Amino acid sequence: MPRIHSWIEAIWISVGVFWAISAIGLKPTARRQKLSDRVSSLIPVILAAFLLFGAWRRFDLLNRTVLPENAAFEWAGLVVTAAGAALAIYARARLGMYWSGTPSIKEGHKLIRTGPYAIVRHPIYSGLLLAVIGTAIAFGEVRHFLAIFLTWTAWTEKIREEERLLTEELGDEYAAYRLQVKSSMIPYIW
């Protein structure tokens, strides 16, 4: 259903617009992940975006249907995409001026433990991954499901680096938070 696909694309555009606007007025960065490490986690995200929304007409294998085209899958995908986007936006808003697009420590960095951060340590990644899963369900081709794997790979790498930086910066406070909130991205699983 082209209309549902357009709604999903609009959700992703809304996430991008929110991200751009909310990046205004952030706290200055005190420490940041090395550029080489940032690139290694950024490449899978860019490739995942191209797989989700790019034209792959010459790659028949990537365009093969995994899920049958039917309204139930498309509506379910829309709902999951919207829920994931809402979670990511809410988590991003809770971080406020401490957010960064790359693993970083902000000046006067404070640990956020409320809202979705009381359930998982990295709910922005949870939400974005959920939105990718929803998009894959709605669009239903091999390339969309490959985007889930690439997103998972990128987020796993970023989480590892963020955990390292936060542990170095916040020490016992972050260790206590990790004991309290055991899941990094998927509640009760991982």
Question: Is the C-alpha dihedral spanning 111, 112, 117, 123 positive or negative?
Answer: negative
List phi, psi (to 5°) of 33: -60, 145
Q: Is the pLDDT of residue 34 over 80?
A: no
- pLDDT, position 148: 98
Q: For 120-173, write each residue's pLDDT tens digit.
A: 999 999 999 999 999 999 999 999 999 999 999 999 999 999 999 999 999 999
Q: How far apart are CA 160 and CA 154, in angstroms?
A: 10
pLDDT greater than 90 at residue 81:
yes
Provide DSSP, 14-54. Answer: HHHHHHHHHTTTPPPEEEE--HHHHHHHHHHHHHHHHHHHS
Q: Is the CB of residue 81 less than 8 Å from the CB of residue 135?
A: yes
CATH class as words, domain 2-180: mainly alpha
Residues 6+ apart with CB under 8 A from 81: 8, 11, 12, 130, 131, 134, 135, 138
**103: pLDDT strictly greater than 90:** no
* Cα distance between residue 36 and residue 103, in whole Å: 12
From CA 163, how far away is CA 178, in angstroms rounded?
9
pLDDT band at 35 (very low <50, low <70, confident <90, very high): confident
In this predicted structure, what is the pLDDT of residue 1? 63
pTM recorded for the entire structure: 0.93
pLDDT of residue 170: 94
Arithmetic mean of pLDDT, 75-89: 98
Q: Are 104 and 130 in contact (CB under 8 A)?
A: no
pLDDT of residue 4 exceeding 80, the answer is: yes
Average pLDDT on 2-10 reads 93
Residue 55 CA to residue 72 CA, distance in Å, equals: 24
The neighbour count for residue 127, using CB atoms within 10 Å, is 24
- Domain-wise residue ranges, the chain: 2-180
